[in-house]
């Protein structure tokens, strides 16, 4: 039913969130979006993953401040292991969500065709009235900024889910 060749209505919708090193922002978005889908009864219809544009942290856990910020809001980020975005990430994803415009620009440059480029979008574009488009990188900041960034990601992730839900929710007979 969906636009990807050979994909059927029963296939899960695959979203990948992308930031720089895959240890702060994108793991937050991955965990939050997965939680939203599960709480709405669509956990089996959506696959939420994340990756980084760089390879510095491949195989590492999320930053401890990310894990702590997630835990303070009731999420578990301890299972995350960083990975790098690859060309195969385009093929294995229906939507590629960049956390800031730098990531968006890089991802669109990496796209091999218009179809892949069309999968790339900015997370904060799903805010009701976005006043900023970039989720700030909290890496060089303190726990308070990690909490603020998580709040931005939660809000935009709810907007993203509302946008996708009608297409993902199974049709009733």
Query: Would you call 137 a catalytic residue per the annotation?
Result: yes
* Matching residue, tokens 């090193």: 21
Of the candidates 14, 25, 65, 83, the residue annotated as catalytic is 25
Side-chain half-sphere exposure of 111, counting CA atoms within 13 A: 19
Query: Would you call 25 a catalytic residue per the annotation?
Result: yes
**Residues 32 and 154: beta-carbon distance below 8 Å:** yes
Of the candidates 11, 55, 68, 137, the residue annotated as catalytic is 137
- Residue from 110, 155, 163 nearest 131 by CA: 155
Of the candidates 19, 24, 34, 63, the residue annotated as catalytic is 19
Cα-Cα end-to-end distance for the chain: 16
Query: Would you call 73 a catalytic residue per the annotation?
Result: no
Q: Is 108 left (phi over 0), alpha (psi -120 to 50) or beta?
A: alpha
Q: What's the residue count for the chain?
A: 173
- Catalytic residues, by residue number, are 19, 25, 137
């Amino acid at each position: 039913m969906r636009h990807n060749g050979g994909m059927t209505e029963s296939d899960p919708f695959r979203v990948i969130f992308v930031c720089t090193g895959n240890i702060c922002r994108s793991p937050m978005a991955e965990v939050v979006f997965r939680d939203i889908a599960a709480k709405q009864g669509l956990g089996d219809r959506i696959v939420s993953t994340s990756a980084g544009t760089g390879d510095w942290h491949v195989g590492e856990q999320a930053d401890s401040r990310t894990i702590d910020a997630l835990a303070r809001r009731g999420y578990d980020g301890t299972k995350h292991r960083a990975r790098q975005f690859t060309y195969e990430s385009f093929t294995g994803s229906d939507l590629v969500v960049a956390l800031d415009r730098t990531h968006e620009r890089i991802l669109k440059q990496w796209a091999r065709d218009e179809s892949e480029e069309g999968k790339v979008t900015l997370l904060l574009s799903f805010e009701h009235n976005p006043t900023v488009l970039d989720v700030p990188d909290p890496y060089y900041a303190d726990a308070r900024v990690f909490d603020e960034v998580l709040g931005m990601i939660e809000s935009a992730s709810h907007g993203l889910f509302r946008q996708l839900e009608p297409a993902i929710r199974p049709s009733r007979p």
